[in-house]
Structure 1
């Protein structure tokens, strides 16, 4: 079984659906790691979260935005049969106040732990750099860091998939 699977693609391409479908084969002991911190004032995002929850197995455990994903997973009893992390861009956005080197090092540390885990891990990424170069400096930085973290994740994953219009393309 693959240890780390990376599923990436543009917005609304079917990444999360594909991740959940893949993880269903691992049974009821899957852990879903939601990297988004709830904002009570964002009704549209709350609706997105509700829809995503409805798409996955109700018996799965959910970890919401743990500071250290790998450590939170290691602390779980019983250990999961597999993990879905959705998404890398939301993880990045939650830590965007850190400098680039710290963010990259923190993600590399997570990847080390995911690759050493005794269960498979699916990481959902986001291809956000397919549009024109953003005018805003912070948006350019976010786009660049998301690309760097995506490249590093794909390089360390045993499988990498691109989702486009609901169709999957195997990258490796």
Structure 2
């Protein structure tokens, strides 16, 4: 089974850089999966995307995937490492889906992760540590991303929380809630 990794943390914590370091340490070719949509009128967003581009080694392949992530993961070559940056952006791109459509999308993604023979490294934002957003789309985004990360984490060999430039290995120090529940219910 491939060695999948989830890297999570707040904005500007170093999570993308940590994930990039993990991908670079491996011996496989790297496919960088960018989930962002780059509207030409948003200069600040384009600068953020450019910062990510500038850090990536030239030999890494780039695949832009704002929506059909599960399909892309299914088609990855087994001898590669794929770095998905980021799940938060991907969730935001899917916010117009109904709850039923979203559940189908998540089910498809989880199945693709389990079937994927390539190593996967996911980057995800931690957005639930503040106040509950006062608007419905903010609550929907926060809840969907948090639930997705909880569903993905048991499928990962490693889970890191990155904050202020430090990576904490949650897979070593923490107890996975899903696994705890499964062990309690015979």
TM-score over 0.5 for the pair? yes
Q: Highest relative contact order (Cα 8 Å, sep 6+), 1 or 2? A: 1
8 Å Cα contact 1:2-1:159 kept in structure 2: no
Q: Does 1:57 align with 2:26?
A: no
1:167 aligns with 2:166: yes
Q: Against the structure 1 CA distance between its residues 103 and 3, is the aligned structure 2 distance closer, same or farther, given a 3 Å change threshold?
A: farther
Runs of 4+ in 1 over 6 A off after TM superposition: none
TM-score, normalised with respect to structure 1: 0.90
Give the greater-gyration-radius structure (CA): 2
In structure 1, C-alpha distance between the alignment counterparts of 2:94 and 2:116, rounded to whole Å: 23
Other structure's SS at 1:125 match: strand
Question: Cα RMSD (Å) of the superposition?
Answer: 1.9
Count of aligned positions = 171
Cα deviation code 1:50-87 (max 9, x no counterpart)? 100111111111111253224334446x6651000011
User: Structure 2: which 5+ residue stretches go unaligned?
Assistant: 172-186
Compare 154-163 and 49-58 and name the one that shifted more.
Answer: 154-163
Higher mean C-alpha displacement, 14-23 vs 63-72:
63-72
Contact 1:30/1:80 (8 A) holds in 2: no
When structure 1 is superposed on structure 2, of 23-32 and 160-169 the one drifting more is: 23-32
Within-5 A mapping of 1:41-120: 41-75=41-75, 81-120=80-119
Please say if residues 6 and 124 of structure 2, whose CA atoms lie closer than 8 Å, have aligned partners that are also in contact: yes
* Distance across 1 between alignment mates of 2:58 and 2:156: 27
In structure 1, the gaps of 5 or more residues are none
Q: Which residue of 1 aligns with 2:30?
A: 30
User: What's the TM-score, normalizing by structure 2?
Assistant: 0.84
Equivalents in 2 of 1:151, 1:40: separation in Å?
33
Corresponding residue of 2:21: 21
- Find the residue that maps to 1:7 and give its secondary structure: strand
The 3-state SS of whatever aligns with 2:6 is: strand
